[in-house]
Each structure stands twice: as structure tokens, then as C-alpha cells.
Amino acid sequence: MEKGISQKETAILNAVMCLVKKGTPPHLVKVADVAREAGIGKGTVYEYFSSKEELLIRAFSFTIGRMVETLLAEFREAPNFREGMMKVFDFLIECDCRSFSLFHFCDTEMLALAHHRLFDQIYHSYFDTILDCLDRIVSRGVDEGAFPPPISTSYGRYVLIAAFSGFHTTLTARTMAGDQSFPVSELKEFAYKSLRRSLTPEEKSVESSREGQLDL
């Protein structure tokens, strides 16, 4: 996550993501357009970033960091773990419904910059930020008795990622199929209950094994 950056750097990074959200593919973003969007001269951009590639990588890191901060703030403000998870699912929906798709940007655009000298440093920092977010979510679930401590930190992370990925994939498939009647609220509830069952010892979850069934 980017820390200690100046207001001018922030304006430049925000300008990059603003252009992307308006529909410009990241690899087609021009420094001149970024400068215009930020209300500064083109030369000023190069005072802070040595190349367009560095600018894109740092914009990616900056955006991920802010999104995680926003997500964790909403999760913490929720009255309980269940409502916090509903906030997370809503967040995933919001990300994917924007003209700018965070998932596409992460999976496609950033990999094209893998050769850059800053890529490993920034990308590893990004993953550390995400893992910390997952750990905080699991910790609250344990503290509130939603499920017992996972058998390992890695397993807790894996279950959360699987729940989020399954939710996102199913929602995307239904949306692409034009299914407007699909109950998103039921999908959120199904994903939540599946998460809890996956983190609950089998002998304790047998009774609830039929709960939250959903025709996918």
C-alpha cells in the first residue's frame, strides 16, 4: 500500500484511475491525458514518475490500498460478522458493476507490466495487504463465535478467497446470461453460510448442512 505520498502525487494517481474508469484501457493511458486530468503540466508527472509503466504500477497499488481501507472500514462498522460479510459481498458487486473492472485490471493489465523493476515490490505489497485484510475478517468471525479458529491461517484465507471467488463467478455468469430475476440477496446468504460451514468442524455442521441451499 502506498504511504507518505504528496497531494500532487495523489492527484496524478487519481487521474490515472479516473481515465480508466471512463473507459480508457490502462495500456492506452497517455501521460499527457493524465496531466490534463490532474490539472498539471506533463513535465510535472515525470517529476514524480520515471515512466508511464511506473505510473500505472503505482496507480494500481494506490487504488488497491484505498479500496482495502474502505472495505475494512465498512466491515468494522458493521454491527456483527454476518452483516460485515454482507458489506464485503456488496463491495464485490460494486467493484464489478463499475465501467472500470478491478478484477480485469488486476488479472490482465498488471501482468503486462511484470517485467518492470517495481512490479515485484508493488505486487508483493499488494498481496500482503490483501492477506492482512483476509486475516482481519477471519479474526472477527472467530472472536464473535461465527466459527472456531481455522486449522491454519492459510486455510482461513483459502476459504475466504473461495467464497468470494464463487460469489463473484456465479454473479457474473448470471448477469452475462441476462438473468435479471436472480436473487442476489440469496446468493450472498448462500455464500455466507457456505463460508461458515467450511470453517466449522464437520460434526458441528451436520445439522445445518441443508441450510442455505441454492440452485446454481
Quick one: pLDDT at residue 106?
A: 55
- Per-run averaged pLDDT (10 residues), the chain, 216 residues: 77 90 82 95 93 84 84 94 95 67 53 59 75 94 96 94 89 77 86 94 51 49
Quick one: pLDDT at residue 9?
A: 93
Burial 185-212 (b: 16+ CB within 10 A, else e): eebbbbbbbbbbbbbeeeeebeeeeeee
Quick one: pLDDT at residue 98?
A: 52
Amino acid (1-letter code) at residue 80: N
The full length of the chain comes to 216
Is domain 52-205 given the CATH code 3.30.1330.10 in the classification?
no
Quick one: pLDDT at residue 79?
A: 97
Domain-wise residue ranges, the chain: 52-205
Quick one: pLDDT at residue 58?
A: 84
Residue 196, CB half-sphere, CA atoms under 13 Å: how many? Answer: 22
Quick one: pLDDT at residue 61?
A: 79
